[in-house]
């Protein structure tokens, strides 16, 4: 677990990160979202000590990071930045292997790990490994940046606007890759973005930053349904709120017992996917199955519609 204790960073007497206390559960993705200059990058860089706090502290698994050797700490935390920061005169494979090499891994281990990561990111090791950064597309270079950050099997991955330079199609693919990687490796990820849609899509939790503080720190559905302040509401936007909420809610918890004809949807699919399938195939209820194809029950249209309705005002 990563925890902030009254974490503060001041420049010239101004708190750009202001007394933030929060914790981030192991194996989750937290998206830190906010306007430019709200302190997101400063916050992130205090975790791997690229920036030292003015007061307060960061703990990882109960240990204050200021008491850990700086270089070892940085090697144990993956870090991905916009622009990927690849060494231009090194091949993709050598870029990926940089931290394992510094940690003294054997060459054969580094080569095996590099090939494994390239395959995980759906790149052909024989084809992409020997290329130099200028011979890669933006999407490929971004994946190499992610592979490099994951090379030494870090428990924590910090990402600062990692998809900012990608076109929308590649960006969606990169977001899907990240979800899949997180699912497979169980890495704790903190991702800085100023795109609320990206935050809602990827985050198990979202921290909305403004003027150095967390204005709201909550699961995505709560951010959409119950924005804590007008600023959060403005970031979320009013457009398509119901469909957004449905896209954040899995089918599983809304199952009913019963049977229905036709192809099933997965229990992990979102309610918006299920609704879309209903509209597309003209059905009012769909069978639901788990990953192995076992039928679990049905999802009803009426249940989807009520799940997307605003909670009754109190
Ligand atoms: N070394 C520094 N000296 C003085 N002020 C700084 C320094 N680094 C950052 N700041 C200021 O701290 C504030 C927060 O900066 P930070 O880069 O953390 O914001 P951000 O939310 O990541 O912004 P962006 O989305 O534009 O990257 C800004 O007002 C910035 O100008």
Examine the domain organization and report whether 131 and 263 are in the same domain.
Answer: no
CA 285 to ligand 1 centroid distance, Å: 50
CA 160 to ligand 1 centroid distance, Å: 13
Token look-up 């916050």 returns 43
Residue 312 has pLDDT above 70, yes or no: no
Give the per-residue pLDDT at 313: 44
- pLDDT tens for 80-135 read 887 667 899 999 999 999 989 988 999 999 999 999 989 888 889 999 999 999 99
Examine the domain organization and report whether 86 and 224 are in the same domain.
Answer: yes
Beta carbon of 52 within 6 Å of any ligand 1 atom: no
- The average pLDDT across 50-61 equals 95
Examine the domain organization and report whether 155 and 279 are in the same domain.
Answer: no
Examine the domain organization and report whether 248 and 288 are in the same domain.
Answer: yes
CA 37 to ligand 1 centroid distance, Å: 5
Is residue 29 domain-resident? yes
Is residue 191 domain-resident? yes
Name which residue sits closest to atom 13 of ligand 1, judged by CA.
37
What strand order describes the sheet that includes 63-64? Answer: 14-24, 2-11, 55-60, 63-64
Name which residue sits closest to atom 28 of ligand 1, judged by CA.
37
* CB-count burial class (<10 Å; 0-12, 13-18, 19+) for 83: middle
Is residue 314 domain-resident? no
- Domain of residue 282: give its range: 242-307
Give the per-residue pLDDT at 16: 97
Q: Identify the DSSP state of 90.
A: S
Number of structural domains (the chain) is 2
Q: Which atom of ligand 1 is nearest to the CA of 209?
A: 21
More confident residue, 191 or 166: 191
Examine the domain organization and report whether 255 and 300 are in the same domain.
Answer: yes
- pLDDT tens for 173-228 read 888 888 888 888 888 999 999 888 889 889 999 999 999 999 999 999 899 988 99
Alpha-carbon distance of 217 to 22, in angstroms, equals 8
Examine the domain organization and report whether 131 and 212 are in the same domain.
Answer: yes
Examine the domain organization and report whether 167 and 295 are in the same domain.
Answer: no
With cut-offs at 50, 70 and 90, classify the pLDDT of residue 139: confident
- Which of 33, 37, 53, 163 maximizes ligand 1 atoms within 8 Å of its Cβ, making it the mutation to test the pocket? 37
What CATH number has the domain bearing residue 28? 3.40.50.300
Residue 73 has pLDDT above 50, yes or no: yes
Name which residue sits closest to atom 29 of ligand 1, judged by CA.
37
Of 180, 207, 237, the domain-final residue: 237
- Which of 10, 38, 44, 52 maximizes ligand 1 atoms within 8 Å of its Cβ, making it the mutation to test the pocket? 38
Examine the domain organization and report whether 146 and 275 are in the same domain.
Answer: no
Decide: 179 and 31 in contact? Cβ < 8 Å. Answer: no
CA 46 to ligand 1 centroid distance, Å: 13
What CATH number has the domain bearing residue 288? 3.90.1280.20
Is residue 313 domain-resident? no
- Which of 40, 47, 207, 214 maximizes ligand 1 atoms within 8 Å of its Cβ, making it the mutation to test the pocket? 40
Examine the domain organization and report whether 107 and 256 are in the same domain.
Answer: no
Beta carbon of 139 within 6 Å of any ligand 1 atom: no
Of 216, 237, 258, the domain-final residue: 237
CA 3 to ligand 1 centroid distance, Å: 21
Strand runs (DSSP E) across 12-131, as ranges? 14-24, 29-34, 55-60, 63-64, 77-81
Any residues with CB less than 8 A from the CB of 114 and at least 6 apart, and which? 93, 96, 97, 125, 129, 147, 151
Examine the domain organization and report whether 145 and 215 are in the same domain.
Answer: yes
Residue 25 has pLDDT above 80, yes or no: yes
Give the per-residue pLDDT at 83: 67
Of 200, 218, 237, the domain-final residue: 237
Rounded (to 5) percent helix, strand, coil in the chain: 40, 25, 35
Give the per-residue pLDDT at 265: 93
CA 120 to ligand 1 centroid distance, Å: 34
Examine the domain organization and report whether 56 and 101 are in the same domain.
Answer: yes
Alpha-carbon distance of 141 to 88, in angstroms, equals 11
Alpha-carbon distance of 206 to 42, in angstroms, equals 17
Examine the domain organization and report whether 303 and 259 are in the same domain.
Answer: yes
Is residue 312 domain-resident? no
Tokens of 292: 């192995």
């Amino acid at each position: 677990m990563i925890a902030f204790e009254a974490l503060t960073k001041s420049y010239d007497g101004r708190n750009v990160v202001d007394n933030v206390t929060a914790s981030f559960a192991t194996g989750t993705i937290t998206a830190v979202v906010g306007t430019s200059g709200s302190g997101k990058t400063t916050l992130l860089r205090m975790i791997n000590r690229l920036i030292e706090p003015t007061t307060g502290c960061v703990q990882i698994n109960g240990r204050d990071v200021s008491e850990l050797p700086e270089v070892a700490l940085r090697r144990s935390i993956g870090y991905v930045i916009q622009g990927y920061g690849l060494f231009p005169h090194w091949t993709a494979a050598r870029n990926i292997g940089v931290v394992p090499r510094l940690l003294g891994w054997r060459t054969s281990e580094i080569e095996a790990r590099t090939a494994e990561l390239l395959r995980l990111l759906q790149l052909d090791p024989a084809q992409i490994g020997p290329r130099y950064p200028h011979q890669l597309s933006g999407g490929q270079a971004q994946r190499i940046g992610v592979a490099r950050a994951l090379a030494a099997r870090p428990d924590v991955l910090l990402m600062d606007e990692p998809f900012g330079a990608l076109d929308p199609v590649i960006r969606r693919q990169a977001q899907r890759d990240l979800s899949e990687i997180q699912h497979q490796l169980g890495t704790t990820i903190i991702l800085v973005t100023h795109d609320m849609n990206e935050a809602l899509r990827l985050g198990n939790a979202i921290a909305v930053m403004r003027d150095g503080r967390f204005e709201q720190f909550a699961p995505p559905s709560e951010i959409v349904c119950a924005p804590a302040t007008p600023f959060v509401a403005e970031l979320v936007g009013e457009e398509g709120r119901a469909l957004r909420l449905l896209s954040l809610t899995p089918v599983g918890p809304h199952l009913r017992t019963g049977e229905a004809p036709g192809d099933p949807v997965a229990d992990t699919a979102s309610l918006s996917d299920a609704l879309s399938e209903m509209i597309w195939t003209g059905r009012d209820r769909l069978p639901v199955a788990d990953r192995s194809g076992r039928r679990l029950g049905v999802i009803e249209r009426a249940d989807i519609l009520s799940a997307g309705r605003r909670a009754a005002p109190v």
